[in-house]
Structure 1
Amino acid sequence: MEQVIFKDLGRMSYQEAWDFQTQLHHEVVERKLALRKAEPNSPASGSGLHYLLFCEHPPVYTLGKSGSMDNLLLDEPSLQQAGFEFFKINRGGDITYHGPGQIVGYPIFDLDRFFTDVHRYVRTLEEAVIHTLATYGLKGIRVEKYTGVWLEASDEKPLRKICAIGVHLSRWVTMHGFAFNINTDLSHFEHIIPCGIVDEDKAVTSLAKELGRIQDIEEVKQRLQHHFAQVFGFEFAIPVNTIE
């Protein structure tokens, strides 16, 4: 069974977290190439060691490589005045928001040790969040043509996105990941067109908004850790406290 090192980075600037995951990604790729060179005929290619990072960021907007600047509704002076940072980055997808009260997850997985299928990888990320939502009595769903996890529309509420996903792969090693809204200030999404989706029948939401109260984010992290290990079929290299 694959071993994953879990690190909760706490509150960390986006640039610092990006630099750290880039460093780990480089280490995993280098280890993989060294093992492949040492054992070229080994049926089990890959590094055999992976990372799962959780963190929160100060308010920041990030734009994926396929995104449009038109989806950022603030100019640079307004961004600075409001206290937001902005980064163009190398993940897929369009623009999104990260901020306090959100679980941002960065899996650095060598998919040669799991499955070499990008679409399956994204679906599996979604599955971990869907299982976690179920423990709170919420039914997470997928929406055709869009990544991420959503909650169904009803007579009173539109289709609502609760978790955004954007990934980058190099040599089948993953970077970036997901942003799961827990106690997130949803008003910060008003300064962007989230994920470039202009449909009026779609919105963003959070676990706190859906359940009507602020959530224990540490408890959510533990539930999410458990379901990540379950859907990907790995174990944590150093045991962590998880909740089913």
Structure 2
Amino acid sequence: MSSSLDVFLLGALELDSAIELQERMRDEIAGRNDRHGVLLVCEHPPAITIGREGRFADVLIDRDELVSRRIDVRWVNRGGGTFLHLPGQLAINAIVPLERLALGLTGLRSAFEASLIAMAGDLKVPAERSTAAPGAVCRCGQFAFIGAGVRDWVSYGGMLVNVSLPQEILDLVRWTDTDVRVTSLSAQRTRPTAVSTVRESLIRNLSQAMGYDSYHLFTGHPLLHRTTRKVYVYA
């Protein structure tokens, strides 16, 4: 029986492709009886997703500007509110068997937050768990958000980490119902921060926090079907 964690570095990936691959991985892991898990690590082209705690009113720009910026808006079946996705932001989706790892959704959230705080520590950024929305905050504001779900005791979704994004872009949506400022790691550090550096630290710390002794890195995935970009704007 396998207890490995496979980590797939997928580069720039459309939301449709990421969702489709997550669903296939979730079905595969649900049919196993071991601790084998998967992380899908990527960056997304411009998009807005609205989770179970979000609403369309969280989108703070009008339809014409959404179309001109080529930002699609999607309702998705995950926890969390309204998130903006862009290059310069790291998405880590965890498809892992929670029951076999002795984790529930609360334990998974704790593992996510512990890995975010440890990663920030690697960058010499003091951070802590957010009280505004699941994720992590630093002195400048919240730089990471958690939006996960579970089906058949297998998780999907995961974390978004704002690594290097302009503040005016972050302000296009209302990320939380509080007045907590949304920021990026590069803003906190007042210097450029490489996505690859954040990615390496998060993978290492998250695998440990979820109880995996080691992980295997892959580039690409044989089942990945990359889709053609379309723009959707829903009310």
Mark yes or no: TM-score above 0.5.
Answer: yes
Alignment identity in percent? 23
TM-score by length of 1: 0.83
Matching residue's letter, 2:216: I
- Equivalence for 2:226: none
- Residues 1:14 and 2:18 are matched in the alignment: no
CA contact (8 A) 1:5 1:236 kept: no
Separation in 2, partners of 1:177, 1:206: 18
> What's the offset of the Cα at 1:68?
1.4
Q: Deviations over 1:48-85 (max 9, x none)?
A: 31101110001111000232111112333321112211
CA contact (8 A) 1:2 1:113 kept: no
Match 1:210 to one of 165, 173, 188: 188
The one of the two structures with greater contact order (alpha-carbon pairs below 8 A, sep at least 6) is 2
Work out which of the two has the higher radius of gyration on C-alpha atoms and give 1 or 2: 1
Q: After the TM superposition, which segments of 4 or more aligned residues of structure 1 sit over 3 Å from their partners?
A: none
CA contact (8 A) 1:65 1:89 kept: yes
**Where does structure 2 lack aligned partners over 5 or more consecutive residues?**
219-235
Q: Deviations over 1:23-45 (max 9, x none)?
A: 1111111x23xxxxxxxxxxxxx
TM-score by length of 2: 0.86
- Equivalence for 1:184: 165
- Equivalence for 2:61: 74
CA RMSD of aligned residues (A): 1.8
Q: Which runs of structure 2 are paired with 1:77-226 in the superposition (5 Å)? A: 77-144=64-131, 146-152=133-139, 160-195=141-176, 197-199=177-179, 202-226=180-204
> What's the offset of the Cα at 1:238?
2.6
- Residues 1:28 and 2:29 are matched in the alignment: yes
Q: Which runs of structure 2 are paired with 1:44-59 in the superposition (5 Å)? A: 46-59=33-46
> What's the offset of the Cα at 1:236?
4.0
Q: Which moved more, 1:122-131 or 1:186-195?
A: 186-195
CA contact (8 A) 1:116 1:172 kept: no
